[in-house]
A and B are shown apart, each in its own frame.
Chain A
């Protein structure tokens, strides 16, 4: 035996531990998401680079022209950029899923006697972590530049809860794509084909009243507009229950429609 020693350690004859609960399985996958963050800190750069550039560019280049002063524009723009950050970053769980599937990792998970949905719970945990970290960094930059959330800590807290709900809902789109497409880059490209027009033709950057009528008609109905409006309201303490309900409509619908589809796609083999 030169290359691999055999001995009692290779096989364990100890009694097996009892089957863990579904929650314990899900937490293990959540731990994996945290580890990935630890080992691939570069992904933080991907997560915040685009929104950071947008914040600086729009505030200082267009801010004065769009809102009269850079500080007024930042006050308008920052909640919107948080929505954009979360919507864009929800691509990562779909890309990660696509990678796991193409590498055969999910085959191993599926051959284990675990709660079959726990790997998805892990993806969700990774999403929450990403959205929270990216959101906090962008908010901090905003605070340094002079952004002030009038509703204070509580407003920020509710805003982040809404952001995570938005990320959760939009995330299903990319999870479906991740299950269908085995190349992570294609998941991103196809996903962004839908996401880009929705994000830009919204009230995130500019008030819709300044747009041509046909576009304004689209923008005021765009779910991303409702999300940005509700987030502005929560940050400034002026949000109504109706605003939040409208913002949550799309995420709730996406979850209701796409989660059974995800289950079906995952189990269809």
Chain B
């Protein structure tokens, strides 16, 4: 990264407005189910903007509408100043999309995939090959460049998929759950890549179900649930809105869960969430002092604790704090 000069957003596209993405009251229904229910969003240029939400919250629908893959039912959206409905072809010229599943031709080699896309962008045969080789080297795929994509690992596929989005430098890069299904090492690699892209001035709209990922990468985060935006801010702002720390308490004696819940709620003044198995209680604690006080009261009430800890909130807990309701579905709890 040392030899790279950061390029400002203005240098990539000097004549465009300061907002990369502007969304007003966007709605989309599938049948009678609202997938997006009136979303507003402003993404400044050159920023990594995170969309955080559980499965089915509408993250992918939002990306599909912005990438002109689907038409909105209501509201408006523009990308780099181009309206997604009235001028989709101009939008397509300025965006790149890396979807949830690697959108590559498995039968072709990595190099052929990139050459094909470069040809579609209008490169000559020799320029397309040169660009493909550059990208393969930059993404450490040179050794596998002449192997069929079906033999690639998950991490390699994702790298090739992102490389395929960078044939020409996009104004906005959409990354739909870029690390879902990757092992921790591959995830770190993708994170590094995303950071260095943002340093080069590319606006990135990233969806994720991992709070940690949004925290690590995004300068601003919008939390969406059931097609609505329920919170927006920097990671710090969101966390302070939710509470600085979470107290997790596991009881040795399950009989007294209700009693313990009542004590915690009274002392800390926040709703208490039970884990799915029912053995653990989680609650926002304003400070370690308050947490200590609560623990002291539990112990003096004679409730046996098998474990307790202070930690940052999980996505489940963020949702519980913001909506007062647990997340539906089973996949959102890994953050």
Given A12-B168, A19-B122, A31-B116, does the pair A1, B99 have CB atoms closer than 8 Å? no
B120 and A114: CB pair below 8 A? yes
Q: What is the distance, in angstroms, from B180's C-beta to the closest C-beta of chain A?
A: 13
Q: What is the distance, in angstroms, from B27's C-beta to the closest C-beta of chain A?
A: 16
Q: What is the distance, in angstroms, from A46's C-beta to the closest C-beta of chain B?
A: 14
Secondary structure of the A contact surface, majority rule: loop
Contact of A17 among B112, B127, B139, B193 (CB under 8 A): B127
Contact with B along A39-79 (1 / 0, CB 8 A): 11000000000000000000000000000000000000000
A39 and B197: CB pair below 8 A? no
A114 neighbours in B (Cβ, 8 Å): 120
Determine which residue in A10, A12, A17, A105 has the highest number of CB atoms from chain B within 10 A of its CB, and name it: A10
Is B123 among interface residues, defined by CB-CB distance under 8 A?
yes
B69 and A110: CB pair below 8 A? yes
Is A25 among interface residues, defined by CB-CB distance under 8 A?
yes
Is B16 among interface residues, defined by CB-CB distance under 8 A?
no
Given A17-B124, A32-B116, A40-B107, does the pair A107, B97 have CB atoms closer than 8 Å? yes
Residue on A nearest B88 in the bound complex, by CB: A113
Give the distance in Å from the alpha carbon of A103 to the alpha carbon of B106 in the complex.
Answer: 9
Give the distance in Å from the alpha carbon of A266 to the alpha carbon of B120 in the complex.
Answer: 19
Give the distance in Å from the alpha carbon of A26 to the alpha carbon of B200 in the complex.
Answer: 33
A16 neighbours in B (Cβ, 8 Å): 121-122, 168
A3 and B192: CB pair below 8 A? yes
Residue on B nearest A39 in the bound complex, by CB: B107
Is A112 among interface residues, defined by CB-CB distance under 8 A?
yes
Question: Which residues B156-197 have CB closer than 8 A to chain A?
Answer: 159, 164, 166-169, 185, 188-189, 192-193, 196-197
Q: What is the distance, in angstroms, from A120's C-beta to the closest C-beta of chain B?
A: 14
Give the distance in Å from the alpha carbon of A108 to the alpha carbon of B122 in the complex.
Answer: 16
Given A6-B193, A110-B69, A269-B71, does the pair A105, B104 have CB atoms closer than 8 Å? yes
A221 neighbours in B (Cβ, 8 Å): none
Q: How many residues of A contact B (CB 8 A)?
A: 39
Residue on B nearest A96 in the bound complex, by CB: B107
Contact with A along B95-119 (1 / 0, CB 8 A): 1110111111111110010001101
Q: What is the distance, in angstroms, from B247's C-beta to the closest C-beta of chain A?
A: 36
B103 and A113: CB pair below 8 A? no
A7 and B4: CB pair below 8 A? yes
Given A10-B139, A35-B108, A39-B108, does the pair A28, B92 have CB atoms closer than 8 Å? no
B196 neighbours in A (Cβ, 8 Å): 1, 4, 6, 10
Contact with B along A1-32 (1 / 0, CB 8 A): 10111111111110011111000110010011
Contact of A104 among B103, B167, B168, B169 (CB under 8 A): B103
Q: What is the distance, in angstroms, from B315's C-beta to the closest C-beta of chain A?
A: 25
B119 neighbours in A (Cβ, 8 Å): 20, 24, 28, 31
B131 and A12: CB pair below 8 A? yes
Is B280 among interface residues, defined by CB-CB distance under 8 A?
no
A107 neighbours in B (Cβ, 8 Å): 67, 69, 97, 99, 103
Residue on B nearest A102 in the bound complex, by CB: B101
B189 neighbours in A (Cβ, 8 Å): 3-4
Is A111 among interface residues, defined by CB-CB distance under 8 A?
yes
A4 and B138: CB pair below 8 A? yes
Given A25-B120, A111-B68, does the pair A9, B137 have CB atoms closer than 8 Å? yes
Q: What is the distance, in angstroms, from B25's C-beta to the closest C-beta of chain A?
A: 21
Is B202 among interface residues, defined by CB-CB distance under 8 A?
yes
A6 and B108: CB pair below 8 A? no
Q: What is the distance, in angstroms, from A14's C-beta to the closest C-beta of chain B?
A: 9
Q: What is the distance, in angstroms, from A171's C-beta to the closest C-beta of chain B?
A: 20
A108 and B192: CB pair below 8 A? no
A10 neighbours in B (Cβ, 8 Å): 135, 138-139, 166, 193, 196-197, 200
A1 and B192: CB pair below 8 A? yes
B124 neighbours in A (Cβ, 8 Å): 17
Q: What is the distance, in angstroms, from B14's C-beta to the closest C-beta of chain A?
A: 13
Given A16-B121, A28-B116, A39-B108, does the pair A4, B192 have CB atoms closer than 8 Å? yes
Give the distance in Å from the alpha carbon of A10 to the alpha carbon of B71 in the complex.
Answer: 32
Give the distance in Å from the alpha carbon of A31 to the alpha carbon of B125 in the complex.
Answer: 12
B117 neighbours in A (Cβ, 8 Å): 108, 112
B287 neighbours in A (Cβ, 8 Å): none
B70 neighbours in A (Cβ, 8 Å): 269
Is B93 among interface residues, defined by CB-CB distance under 8 A?
yes
Selected A-B contacts with CB under 8 Å, 22 pairs: A1-B1, A10-B135, A10-B138, A11-B7, A11-B197, A12-B166, A12-B169, A16-B121, A17-B124, A20-B121, A28-B116, A35-B112, A39-B107, A103-B104, A105-B105, A107-B67, A107-B69, A108-B97, A108-B164, A112-B120, A269-B69, A269-B70
Apart from A10-B196, A28-B116, 11 more pairs, CB < 8 Å: A3-B185, A3-B189, A7-B4, A12-B167, A12-B169, A13-B12, A28-B119, A31-B116, A105-B104, A112-B117, A112-B120
Which 8 pairs, one residue from A and one from B, show the smallest C-beta to C-beta distance?
A: A6-B196, A17-B122, A3-B189, A20-B122, A104-B103, A9-B134, A113-B92, A108-B103
